[in-house]
Structure 1
Amino acid sequence: MNNGKVKFFNELKGFGFIKDTNSDQDYFVHVSGLVDEIRENDEVTFDLQEGKKGLNAVNVKRA
């Protein structure tokens, strides 16, 4: 499990980005990878999964 903070999330389009707390890397997140509803600045935990354009955050839960 990784820890991070929601940097941006567009509820209408269903995607956003999470900034990893440890690496400062940004990861794409799609609404299909959410366990809980998220908003900008929420603290979250997540797993990483290879997607079409790199690593995506999946199993995203509010911390």
Structure 2
Amino acid sequence: MATGTVKWYNPTKGFGFIQPDDGGKDVFVHATAVEQSEFGSLNEGQTISYETEADARSGKTSATRLTVAA
């Protein structure tokens, strides 16, 4: 699993971005991934672990399986 820091997350808009610890491109995170996780919401600066998944339709990558970073 990758780890990163929540760059920003807006629950009203239902999405945000995670800055990967490896210095790669920011990763999109959708509200559905947050709802399916152990988090109620994400906070700026929060460190989390996640996996990435490509959307079948758009091909864009997003974060899934969010957990507390070890």
Matched-pair identity in %: 29
Greater C-alpha radius of gyration: 2
Task: Answer whether contact 1:38 1:62 (CA < 8 A) is retained.
Answer: no
Matched position secondary structure for 2:22: coil
Say if 1:30 and 1:44 are closer, same or farther in 2 by CA, change over 3 A. Answer: same
- The structure where strand makes up a greater share of residues is 1
Q: Which runs of 5+ in 1 are unaligned?
A: none
CA distance in 2, matches of 1:20, 1:50: 16
Match of 1:12 in 2: 12
Match of 2:49 in 1: 45
Q: Which runs of 5+ in 2 are unaligned?
A: none
TM-score of the superposition, structure 1-length normalised? 0.87
Give the alignment's Cα RMSD to 1 decimal: 1.3
